[in-house]
Amino acid sequence: MTEEKKLNYDVIIVGAGPAGMTTALYASRANLSVLMLDRGIYGGNLNNTATIENYTGFPSVEGPDLAKQMYEGATKFGAEYAYGTVEKVELDGDLKKVTTDMGDTFTAKALVIASGSEQRKLGVPGEAEYGGKGVSYCAVCDGAFFKNKHLIVVGGGDSAVEEGMYLTQFADKVTVLVRKDHLRAVAVTQDKAKQNNKMEFIYNTSVTAIEGDDQKVVAVKTHNNETGEDGEMQADGIFIYVGNDPMTKPYTDLNILDDQGWVITDDKLATKIPGVFAVGDVRETPLRQIATAVGDGALAGQEVFKYVDNLK
Ligand SMILES: Cc1cc2nc3c(=O)[nH]c(=O)nc-3n(C[C@H](O)[C@H](O)[C@H](O)COP(=O)(O)OP(=O)(O)OC[C@H]3O[C@@H](n4cnc5c(N)ncnc54)[C@H](O)[C@@H]3O)c2cc1C
């Protein structure tokens, strides 16, 4: 006899990044039945991060390793993880109905949106065409393909500088193109990067196009925002770190998003819909980090428990 698939839970969590996994840990440890749904492997953006140095308790840890440890903790008390992209969320009275691209419709008493953000595209010619052929958003995933090459990193924040440094272990040279006249990365990261003789910084410069030979990236076209001059630079690959956009398409009809698409919550992580919470990077929040995502998850796990308990 085949076992029937479980479709009803106390809580469904969309996204198994640090925020979703921590919510799962707290909610399942409080004895709720919990399903985490993710469109990919657990870990979220941890899988796109090389070395993490600012998560308390882990002086230095590789993103994918931390993801594995978080997953172990998240599932230890019975929370389940299933693969699937959530396409639709509907409300049926108090019940939350969640439909995935695998054709499943799950229901739950409470929903936690932990779907994070995705890296913003530059939106220039050649970017989509050379995706996977030299254009990348993930140094951990793709860096090793560029041994002894010249790489361009676009961006001036923490991610751009940190991932640029990670890439110097493979590349001969990493040129960071910064749109503004300064970096936004924290001082300690900037200092480290500027001491790395494989790193080069070029300011006031935007990428206007990515050029290739049909097979792979060969150059980027640039524009100097100060002098107005256009230029071209040889490149074997380009890694783009220019900010993030929220992953909130399935919730647009719920009327819980701000004008840029981030989920609005109160200080207990509740949206204005009873039983619908949001945690981590997907929220309208001043800081998007692992520590804040995990903090959100802890509080939401507790708040979800109270909400479900009150329904009894
Ligand atoms: C390159 C890079 C470097 C970083 N470095 C650091 C660092 O050094 N220190 C630090 O503290 N933070 C760092 N961050 C930020 C940190 O990774 C995030 O703050 C953290 O991962 C947020 O966790 P989250 O769970 O909210 O979202 P995410 O990690 O984005 O996880 C969201 C999950 O939701 C899933 N999902 C989205 N939509 C759907 C859907 N419709 N259906 C199913 N699943 C869905 C995604 O697949 C993903 O697994 C970095 C981020 C990047 C991109």
Q: How remote is the C-alpha of 182 from its chain's centroid?
A: 25
Q: What is the mean pLDDT of residues 115-140?
A: 95
Report CA(282)–ligand 1 centroid distance (Å). Answer: 9
Q: Which atom of ligand 1 is nearest to the CA of 291?
A: 11
138 is catalytic: yes
Angle 21-23-26 (CA atoms, 0-180°, nearest 5)? 110
Residue 55 Cβ inside 6 Å of ligand 1? The answer reads yes
38 is catalytic: no
Cα–Cα distances (Å) from 247 to 15, 30, 32, 62, 281, in that order, read 10, 28, 26, 24, 9
Tell me what pLDDT residue 249 has.
Answer: 97
Report CA(241)–ligand 1 centroid distance (Å). Answer: 14
Q: How far apart are CA 68 and CA 50, in angstroms?
A: 14
Task: Collapse the DSSP code of 102 into the 3-class scheme (helix H, G, I; strand E, B; otherwise coil) and give the result.
Answer: coil
Q: What percent of the chain has pLDDT over 70?
A: 99
Q: What is the mean pLDDT of the chain?
A: 96
Report CA(10)–ligand 1 centroid distance (Å). Answer: 24
The model's confidence at residue 100, banded by pLDDT at 50, 70 and 90, is very high
At 117-128, the pLDDT tens digits run 999 999 999 999
258 is catalytic: no
Report CA(46)–ligand 1 centroid distance (Å). Answer: 6
**Would you tell me how many other CB atoms lie within 10 Å of the CB of residue 84?**
18
Does 192 have pLDDT greater than 70?
A: yes
Of the listed 65, 94, 101, 141, which one is catalytic? Answer: 141
Contact 219, 234 (CB under 8 A): yes
The model's confidence at residue 96, banded by pLDDT at 50, 70 and 90, is very high
Cα–Cα distances (Å) from 234 to 62, 155, 211, 225, 238, in that order, read 30, 18, 9, 19, 10
Burial of 99 (0-12, 13-18, 19+ CB in 10 A): middle
Task: Collapse the DSSP code of 283 into the 3-class scheme (helix H, G, I; strand E, B; otherwise coil) and give the result.
Answer: strand
Contact 7, 104 (CB under 8 A): yes
Does 199 have pLDDT greater than 80?
A: yes
Q: What is the mean pLDDT of residues 72-95?
A: 97
Q: How far apart are CA 48 and CA 291, in angstroms?
A: 16
* Model pTM score: 0.92
* Helical ranges in the chain per DSSP H: 18-29, 63-75, 139-142, 158-167, 187-194, 290-310
Tell me what pLDDT residue 5 has.
Answer: 86
Q: What is the mean pLDDT of residues 258-280?
A: 98
Could you tell me which residues come within 8 angstroms of residue 247 by beta carbon, excluding any fewer than 6 positions away?
15, 115, 116, 117, 118, 282
At 24-60, the pLDDT tens digits run 999 999 999 999 999 999 999 999 888 899 999 999 9
Residue 14 Cβ inside 6 Å of ligand 1? The answer reads yes
Tell me what pLDDT residue 4 has.
Answer: 81
Residue 85 Cβ inside 6 Å of ligand 1? The answer reads yes
Q: What is the mean pLDDT of residues 173-183?
A: 98
Task: Collapse the DSSP code of 270 into the 3-class scheme (helix H, G, I; strand E, B; otherwise coil) and give the result.
Answer: strand
Handedness of CA 75, 40, 158, 142 (dihedral sign): positive
Tell me what pLDDT residue 2 has.
Answer: 65
Q: Which two tokens stand for residue 65?
A: 């390793």
Please report, in angstroms and rounded to a whole number, the separation of the first and last CA atoms in the chain.
33
